[in-house]
C-alpha cells in the first residue's frame, strides 16, 4: 500500500503557503496543452445545471451519502443499536498498526487501543458512519469509548468528518476539541495543538477554560493547555483540502 | 512576474473574478477559466496521462471552485495556488481510484501533442513559464527528477525512491533541497 501526493509543507520543510504556491507555479513546467474548446462549455454548462440541481457524479454521490447518513443518524439518535460505540479501521495504506500489530481493513478497534500509521494513512470510522477520522502518516491516536466518540491524538495529524449532532471529541495533551460542526483538522505540535475549523463550530477546552470557535471556512488556531486558541499564521489547505474532506466524508455511511 | 518584478497582474484579475463568481457571476467565472484553464488542463494531463480523465478532473476542480468561491481568501494564497490545489486533489483522487481498481495501464497515447511554447499563451504566462523552466533547469538532474515524480506523478516518497532506484532518505533530502531552492528562486512571484 502506498500514499500518493507527498507534496506537503511538512515533507518539504517549507511554510505551507510557499508549498502551495510553489506546487502551483511548477505546474507551468508541465508541457503546455490547450484544453479542447468543449471543456469550457462543459464547465459553464455545469454551472447552469447547478441551478437545475443536476450535479456531477461525485456531488450526487456525496448528496446521496448525506441523505443516507442523515436518515441513519436519526435512527441512531433515537435507538442506538448494538456496537454503536464501536470503531472500525475502514481503510489503511502503508504500515498501519493497532496496538503495535499490523492491522487490516475492517478490523474493529476497541476502546483503549492505539492506532499508529507509518508511511501511509488510516481511516477509523465510528459507529457505522457517524464520524470518521483520518490519521496521516506518522500519526498515533488512542480510540476511546464512553459517552462520546473520542480520539486521543498523540502524534501527527488527524482530519475528522462528523455527522451533525454526533458527540465526537479529539483530545491532545493541550486540551479537548469537541465537534459542534462537521469537519476539522488537528495537528499535534511539540509546543501546542493546531486546529483548523473547516466548517461549523468547535468547542475547545483546556486549562484556559472553555471557548467556542466558529469559522467561515478553514480558519485556523493554535492553543496550549494554558493559552486559549489564538490565530496562527495563515493556514493552508495542506492535508485537509476540500477534496480530502470529501473523500473522508465518503466513509460517513452505514458500513 | 510583472516587468517591475511585482505580483503577477493575472493573479489580481483572478482574485477579482473569484469574488464576482462568489456572487453568482457566471461570466466572470468563464473569464477565470480563460485565465487558468490551460494551466489546469496541462497539469491534469501531466498527472493523469489521459485526456478524457484530465478533462473530467479539470471540470470537477472548476465546479468545486465555483461552489467554494466564497471561501477563497487572497491573503492565504493566490488564485493559481488555490485552483491547482483543488485540481491536484481531484487528480490524486483519480489516481487512487485507478490504483484501487488495479488499472495501471498508461493512456498517454490518447493525449494530443503539447502545443509549442508560447503558443496560445498570454505573455505573462509565457514569462512565468520561462522563469519556472529556468529554475527547474538549474536544479541538479537528480533533484529535478525527484520533483517531477513527486509533484506530477503524484507518487509517495517511497514510490519515487523505488522508481528512481534511490534510497528513501536520499529522495527526501533531494526533494527538500530542491523545494527550498525553487522556493527561494520563485518566491518573488507570489511574495513581491
pLDDT for B116: 53
Measured between alpha carbons, how far is A64 from A81 in angstroms, rounded to an integer? 23
ipTM: 0.81
Measured between alpha carbons, how far is A213 from A219 in angstroms, rounded to an integer? 9
Measured between alpha carbons, how far is A65 from A255 in angstroms, rounded to an integer? 12
For residue B8, pLDDT beyond 80: no
C-alpha cell at B110: 490518447
Distance (Å) from the C-alpha of residue B175 to the closest C-alpha of chain A?
7
pLDDT in tens, B105-135: 444 434 455 555 444 445 677 788 888 989 9
pLDDT for A63: 44
What does DSSP say about strands A140-144 and A175-179: parallel, antiparallel, or unpaired?
Answer: unpaired
Q: Chain A within 8 Å of B173 (Cβ-Cβ)?
A: no
pLDDT for B124: 72
Contacts of B88 in chain A (CB under 8 A): 5, 7, 23
Contact A218 B175 (CB under 8 A): no
pLDDT for A137: 84
Residue of A nearest to B149 (CA): A5
pLDDT for A254: 44
Average pLDDT, integer, range B23-27: 85
Percent of the residues in chain B that have a pLDDT greater than 70, as a whole number: 81
Q: Chain A within 8 Å of B18 (Cβ-Cβ)?
A: no
Contacts of B125 in chain A (CB under 8 A): 28
User: Cα A130 to chain center, whole Å?
Assistant: 13
pLDDT for A2: 39
Hunting for cell 487558468 — which residue is that? B36
Which position has the higher pLDDT, A238 or B20? B20
* Cα–Cα distance list, B166 to A120, B91, B160, B161, B177 (Å): 20, 26, 8, 5, 16
Q: Which residues, in sequence order, are bridge partners of residue A188?
A: A156, A193
pLDDT for A237: 63
pLDDT for A189: 84
Measured between alpha carbons, how far is B191 from B16 in angstroms, rounded to an integer? 18
What does DSSP say about strands A101-102 and A219-223: parallel, antiparallel, or unpaired?
Answer: unpaired
pLDDT for A73: 34
Contacts of A17 in chain B (CB under 8 A): 76-77, 81, 190
B64, B85, B157 member nearest A20 (Cβ): B85
Would you tell me how many other CB atoms lie within 10 Å of the CB of residue B37?
A: 19
Is the CB of residue A157 less than 8 Å from the CB of residue A185?
yes
Q: Which residues contact B139 (CB under 8 A, 6 or more apart)?
A: B147, B178, B181, B182
pLDDT for A72: 38
Is the CB of residue A4 less than 8 Å from the CB of residue B95?
yes
pLDDT for B122: 52
Q: Chain A within 8 Å of B15 (Cβ-Cβ)?
A: no
Is the CB of residue B175 less than 8 Å from the CB of residue A11?
yes
For residue B83, pLDDT beyond 80: yes
Low-confidence stretches of chain A (pLDDT < 70) are 1-6, 48-85, 128, 146-147, 181, 233-239, 253-255
Contact A4 B96 (CB under 8 A): yes
pLDDT for A249: 80
Terminal C-alpha separation, chain A: 22
- DSSP H or E stretch at residue A164: none
A28, A33, A43 member nearest B33 (Cβ): A43
pLDDT in tens, B68-81: 888 888 888 899 99
Contact B86 A7 (CB under 8 A): no
Contacts of B182 in chain A (CB under 8 A): 22, 26
- Is residue B61 very low, low, confident or very high in pLDDT (cuts 50, 70, 90)? very high
Interface probe, candidates B42, B99, B137, B143, chain A, greatest A C-beta count within 10 A: B42
For residue B24, pLDDT beyond 60: yes
Amino acid at each position: 500500500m502506498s500514499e500518493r501526493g507527498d507534496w506537503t509543507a511538512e515533507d518539504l520543510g517549507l511554510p505551507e503557503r510557499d508549498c502551495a504556491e510553489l506546487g502551483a507555479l511548477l505546474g507551468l513546467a508541465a508541457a503546455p496543452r490547450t484544453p479542447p474548446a468543449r471543456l469550457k462549455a462543459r464547465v459553464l454548462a455545469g454551472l447552469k445545471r447547478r441551478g437545475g440541481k443536476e450535479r456531477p457524479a461525485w456531488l450526487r454521490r456525496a448528496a446521496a451519502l448525506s441523505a443516507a447518513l442523515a436518515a441513519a443518524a436519526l435512527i441512531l439518535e433515537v435507538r442506538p443499536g448494538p456496537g454503536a460505540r464501536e470503531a472500525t479501521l475502514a481503510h489503511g495504506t502503508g504500515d498501519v498498526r493497532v496496538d503495535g500489530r499490523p492491522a487490516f481493513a475492517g478490523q474493529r478497534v476497541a476502546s483503549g487501543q492505539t492506532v499508529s500509521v507509518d508511511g501511509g494513512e488510516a481511516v477509523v470510522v465510528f459507529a457505522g458512519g457517524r464520524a470518521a477520522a483520518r490519521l496521516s502518516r506518522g500519526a498515533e491516536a488512542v480510540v476511546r469509548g464512553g459517552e462520546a466518540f473520542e480520539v486521543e491524538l498523540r502524534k501527527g495529524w488527524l482530519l475528522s468528518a462528523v455527522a451533525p449532532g454526533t458527540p465526537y471529541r479529539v483530545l491532545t495533551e493541550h486540551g479537548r476539541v469537541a465537534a459542534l460542526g462537521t469537519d476539522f483538522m488537528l495537528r499535534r505540535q511539540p509546543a501546542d495543538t493546531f486546529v483548523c475549523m473547516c466548517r461549523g463550530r468547535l468547542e475547545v477546552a483546556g486549562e484556559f477554560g472553555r471557548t467556542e470557535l466558529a469559522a467561515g471556512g478553514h480558519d485556523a488556531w493554535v492553543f496550549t493547555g494554558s493559552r486559549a486558541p489564538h490565530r496562527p499564521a495563515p493556514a493552508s489547505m495542506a492535508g485537509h483540502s476540500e477534496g480530502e474532506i470529501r473523500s473522508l466524508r465518503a466513509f460517513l455511511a452505514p458500513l | 512576474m510583472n516587468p517591475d518584478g511585482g505580483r503577477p497582474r493575472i493573479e489580481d484579475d483572478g482574485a477579482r473574478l473569484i469574488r464576482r463568481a462568489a456572487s453568482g457571476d457566471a461570466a466572470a467565472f468563464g473569464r477565470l477559466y480563460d485565465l487558468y484553464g490551460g494551466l489546469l488542463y496541462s497539469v491534469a494531463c501531466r498527472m493523469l496521462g489521459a485526456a478524457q480523465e484530465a478533462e473530467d478532473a479539470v471540470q470537477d476542480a472548476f465546479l468545486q471552485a465555483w461552489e467554494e468561491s466564497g471561501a477563497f481568501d487572497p491573503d492565504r494564497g493566490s488564485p493559481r495556488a488555490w485552483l491547482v490545489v483543488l485540481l491536484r486533489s481531484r487528480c490524486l483522487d483519480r489516481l487512487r481510484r485507478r490504483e484501487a481498481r488495479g488499472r495501471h495501464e498508461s493512456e498517454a497515447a490518447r493525449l494530443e501533442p503539447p502545443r509549442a511554447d508560447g503558443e496560445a499563451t498570454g505573455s505573462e504566462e509565457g514569462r512565468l513559464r520561462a522563469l519556472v523552466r529556468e529554475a527547474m533547469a538549474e536544479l541538479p538532474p537528480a533533484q529535478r527528477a525527484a520533483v517531477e515524480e513527486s509533484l506530477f506523478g503524484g507518487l509517495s516518497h517511497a514510490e519515487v525512491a523505488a522508481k528512481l532506484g534511490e534510497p528513501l532518505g536520499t529522495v527526501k533530502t533531494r526533494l527538500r533541497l530542491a523545494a527550498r531552492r525553487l522556493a527561494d528562486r520563485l518566491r518573488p512571484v507570489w511574495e513581491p
